[in-house]
Amino acid sequence: MSHTAHPDPHGTADGAVHEPDGPRRSWALLAVALAAQILVVLDISVVNTALPSIGHSLNLDGSQLQWVVTAYLMMSGGGLLLGGRIADLLSRRAVFLTGLVLFTAASAVSGLAETGNQLIAARAVQGLSAALLTPSAMSLITTHYAGGQRRTALAAWGAVGSLGVAAGVLVGGALTTAASWQAIFWVNVPIGVVALLAGSRIIAKDTRTTPRPNLRDFDIPGALTVVTGLGAFVYGIAGTSTHAWVSAHTLVAFTAAAVLLTVFLRLENRAAKPLFPPHVWKLQSLVSGTVVMLGVSGVLVGAVFLTSIFLQTVLGYSALETGLAFLPFAFALTVGTIVAKHLLAHASPRSIATTGLLTAVFASGWLSAADAESSLANGVLPGLVLLGLGIGMVFVPVSVTSMAGIPASHAGVASGFLMTGHELGGALGVAALSAVATSAGTLATATGAADAYSAGFIGAAVMAGLVAVFAAVRMPAGLTSGGGGQMHMH
């Protein structure tokens, strides 16, 4: 009897997803993984609402405040690929639990910080731990569940990824208003402790069929170049809030990123045991899914940023009122993910994602019409709800198709690759749409912010349209295999 592994096609003629179901699994592991990911995603946006309070309390200027955000993004965005590969080589369970311990501890230190440097250092550790948590959590999901359960689990994962951005505005506003800025970090501690205790009991220890690798098996040059290269890229993007795109500061960062990432790719092609095996990143489903993830995350995070500015500067909302105004948006995102999950049984992932992106184009155009005379009800809310519905429809098919055909041995690094698109997309979206917005008006006055908001959402419509065209052309019509290592043996 031979034991040749080959992909099992599960797409139908119409591209709908019909994966064979494996044995039913408890949802407990999913709950633990999502609890950890909620912490990671919330901490991307929750800090933005509290920045004025942090600056006043710790006596930080604008450039120092920027590092409270940038330190987290640099370490998380730069380290996701490495974190995923470490999970593949060592132990998904161990890497996940280690990341959870570090994240919880760094959150406590952030809440206790008495100086800007202490807070920035703690935020960097938070970002590092997020780079361990996210790919290990996603790979635990994709290797634990199969068939319909995997689709449901990835739909929930996609919902958390999109909802966390919107919920962060509400959570940050509520905690800062009701308590203090420290509360946005302290709230992570009990959640992290509960997730850690539950995870240590629920997540089974890894069973290895190959010898545990030693340090010589690890691609250290590849790890160093990809982490520093991606970190330099994120640093350059984040710096555009205080430096021009063509400034020496920005150009040096982007040039360093380009050089380091080029070296990384060459090293990977030559390495005997590469950090990111070339055959993985050559998978069309993973690469196209990551590009769409990057684009839709840019639209999502950029839209939340622009709308927050509009509500507070033009309509005069408080931080808490702004957060509450995002509740319908969060609800629409949830509905979008549920709709997409059910549509997967009847339509192709490509058509679902493209439809969601075209909906986002229309919604962004609607939002661009708001001006200084608009109200939340007639100028913002309808477009915001439609935008949430459209964006919510994209995350599920992207997550499902990207992880299809990925063997269990590379689930971590593939998850890291996909979520790097999420992280970089969010940073790029804010930077790009901010640049478009500020070219039309200042964000500091009501009239200027209204003009900037309108221009920014025209930019968002263009961005969503370009991603829709890419999705329609490059995303696969169906799944090529079960993913997550569910290969059929004969």
Pairwise pLDDT comparison (77 vs 257), residue with the higher score: 257
Per-residue pLDDT, 214: 62
Q: Are 215 and 101 in contact (CB under 8 A)?
A: no
The tokens of 110 are what?
A: 């952030």
Task: Say yes or no: 427 and 344 in one domain.
Answer: yes
Q: Are residues 269 and 316 both part of a single domain?
A: no
Give the mean pLDDT of 153-167: 85
On whether both 262 and 282 belong to a single domain, the answer is no
Tell me: do 418 and 289 sit in the same domain.
yes
* In a shared domain, residues 253 and 383: no
pLDDT of residue 320: 86
Are both 196 and 263 inside the same structural domain?
no
DSSP state of 223: H
Supply the pLDDT for residue 182. 95
pLDDT(301) > 60: yes
Q: Which one of 276, 294, 319 terminates a domain?
A: 276
C-beta of residue 79 within 8 angstroms of C-beta of residue 234: no
**More confident call, 217 vs 243:** 243
The lowest-confidence range among 153-157, 203-207, 371-375, 423-427 is 203-207
Instruction: Work out the percent of the chain whose per-residue pLDDT is above 90.
Output: 52
Examine residue 408 and state whether it is found in any structural domain, yes or no: yes
Please indicate, yes or no, if residue 40 is contained in any of the structural domains. yes
Residue 418, pLDDT > 60, answer: yes
Q: How many CB atoms lie within 10 A of CB 317?
A: 18
Q: Which of 60-64, 208-212, 485-489 has the lowest mean pLDDT?
A: 485-489
pLDDT-wise least confident of 245-254, 354-363, 474-483: 474-483
Spatial distance between the Cα atoms of 191 and 195, rounded to a whole number of angstroms? 6
Q: What is the model's pLDDT at position 12?
A: 46
Cβ proximity of 402 and 420 under 8 Å: no
d(CA 349, CA 249): 40
215 falls within a domain: no
Is residue 444 domain-resident? yes
- What pLDDT score was predicted for residue 483? 42
For the chain, how are helix, strand and coil distributed in percent, rounded to 5?
75, 0, 25
Give residue 20's pLDDT: 52
Decide: pTM greater than 0.85: yes
Region 238-259: mean pLDDT is: 90
pLDDT in tens, 85-138: 899 888 999 999 999 999 999 999 999 999 999 999 999 999 999 999 999 999
Could you tell me if residue 383 is inside a domain? yes
Do 140 and 227 reside in the same domain of the chain? no
261 and 319 in a common domain: no
Residues 166 and 260 in one domain: no
Written as six digits, the tokens of 403 are: 């992880």
Chain-wide mean pLDDT for the chain? 87
Q: What are phi and psi of 482, to 5 degrees?
A: -65, -25
Residue-level pLDDT at 5: 38
Please give the DSSP secondary-structure letter assigned to residue 20: P
Determine contact, residues 395/337, Cβ cutoff 8 Å.
yes
Domains in the chain, number: 2
Residue 225 has pLDDT above 50, yes or no: yes
407: how many CB neighbours lie within 10 A of its CB?
A: 18
Residues 444-459 pLDDT 10s: 778 888 899 999 999 9
**pLDDT band (50, 70, 90) for residue 309:** confident
Higher pLDDT, 224 or 479: 224
In a domain, 20, yes or no: no
| Chosen domain end from 276, 293, 321 | 276
CATH code at position 114: 1.20.1250.20
Same domain, 129 and 254: no
At residue 211, the pLDDT reads: 61
101 lies in the same domain as 186: yes
Higher pLDDT, 419 or 241: 419
For the chain, what percent of residues have pLDDT higher than 70?
A: 90
Inform me whether the pLDDT recorded for 216 exceeds 70.
Answer: no
In a domain, 227, yes or no: yes
Whether residue 4 lies inside any domain: the answer is: no
Q: With a cut of 90, say whether residue 19 has pLDDT above it.
A: no
Condensed to tens digits (0 to 9), the pLDDT of residues 32-78 reads 999 999 999 888 888 888 888 898 899 987 777 878 888 898 899 88
Exposure of 269 in the CB half-sphere (CA atoms within 13 A): 7
The pLDDT value given to residue 409? 84
Residues 109, 252, single domain; the answer is: no
Last-in-domain residue among 241, 259, 276: 276
For residue 18, which of 350, 401, 354, 344 has the smallest C-alpha distance? 344
List the domain range (segments joined by +) for residue 253. 220-276
Greater model confidence, 214 or 131: 131
